[in-house]
Amino acid sequence: MEPGRAEGVTVSQSSGVDRLRAASMADVALLAGVSSQTVSRVSNGGIVAEKTRERVLAAMAELGYRPNSAARALKSGRFQSVGVLMFTLHNTGSIRILDTIAVEAAAGGYSIDLISLGDPTTGHITEALSRLEQEAVDGIILILEAHELLEHSIAFPARVPSVLVDSQSYDDRISVNADQKQGARLAVEHLLDLGHPTVWHVSGPTETSNAAAEREQSWRDTLRSRGLVAPPVLGGNWGAESGYKAGVELAANDEVSAVFCANDQIALGVLRAMHEHGRRVPDDVSVVGFDDTAESSQYWPPLTTVRQNFKVVGETAFALLREAMLGEAVEAGLRLVDNELVVRSSTAAYPGARAR
Partner DNA sequence: CGTAAACATGTTTACGTAAACATCGTTCGG
Partner DNA sequence: CCGAACGATGTTTACGTAAACATGTTTACG
Q: Which is nearer to DNA, 48 or 288 (CB)?
A: 48
Question: Exposure string (b/e) for 77-92, b if CB count within 10 Å is 16 or more?
Answer: eebbbbbbbbbeeebb
Nearest CA among 54, 9, 12 for reference residue 27:
9
Burial of 3 (C-beta count, 10 Å sphere; 0-12/13-18/19+): exposed
CA 133 to chain centre: 20
Nearest CA among 116, 115, 112 for reference residue 88:
116
- Per CB under 7 A, contacts with DNA among 62-91 are 67-68, 71-72, 74-76
- Per CB under 8 A, contacts with a copy of itself among 28-87 are 64, 66-71, 73-74, 79, 81, 84
Burial of 178 (C-beta count, 10 Å sphere; 0-12/13-18/19+): buried
User: Site size for a copy of itself, by CB under 8 A?
Assistant: 61
Print the binding letters for residues 241-270 with DNA: x by CB under 7 A, - otherwise: ------------------------------
Q: Rule CB under 8 A: choose which of 10, 121, 130, 225 binds a copy of itself.
A: 130
Binding partner selected for residue 40 from DNA, a copy of itself, none, CB under the kind-specific 5 to 8 Å limit = DNA
Binding partner selected for residue 115 from a copy of itself, DNA, none, CB under the kind-specific 5 to 8 Å limit = a copy of itself
Q: Which residues contact 242 (CB under 8 A, 6 or more apart)?
A: 202, 235, 236, 266, 269
Q: Rule CB under 8 A: choose which of 56, 102, 194, 223 binds a copy of itself.
A: 102
Residue 161, preceding peptide bond in cis (omega within 30° of 0): no
Which 3 state secondary structure label does DSSP give 116?
strand
CA angle in degrees (0–180, nearest 5) for 259-281-300? 105
Question: Other C-beta atoms within 10 Å of 244: how many?
Answer: 20
Contact status: 36 vs DNA (CB under 7 A): yes
Q: Rule CB under 8 A: choose which of 168, 237, 265, 346 binds a copy of itself.
A: 265
Contact status: 130 vs DNA (CB under 7 A): no
Backbone φ and ψ of 201, nearest 5° = -135, 130
Contact status: 61 vs DNA (CB under 7 A): no
Q: Which is nearer to a copy of itself, 115 or 223 (CB)?
A: 115
Backbone φ and ψ of 213, nearest 5° = -65, -40
Q: Name the minimum Å distance from CB 169 to a copy of itself.
A: 25
CA 281 to chain centre: 32
Q: Rule CB under 7 A: choose which of 16, 17, 45, 49 binds DNA.
A: 49
Q: Which is nearer to a copy of itself, 199 or 281 (CB)?
A: 281
Backbone φ and ψ of 251, nearest 5° = -65, -30
- Per CB under 8 A, contacts with a copy of itself among 242-261 are 243-244
Q: Name the minimum Å distance from CB 137 to DNA.
A: 15
- Which parts of this chain interact with a copy of itself (CB under 8 A)? 7-8, 20, 22, 64, 66-71, 73-74, 79, 81, 84, 88-90, 95-96, 98-99, 102-103, 106, 111-116, 118, 130-131, 133-136, 158-159, 239-241, 243-244, 265, 268-269, 271-272, 275-276, 294-295, 297-302
- Which parts of this chain interact with DNA (CB under 7 A)? 21-22, 24-26, 33-38, 40-41, 43-44, 46-49, 51-53, 67-68, 71-72, 74-76
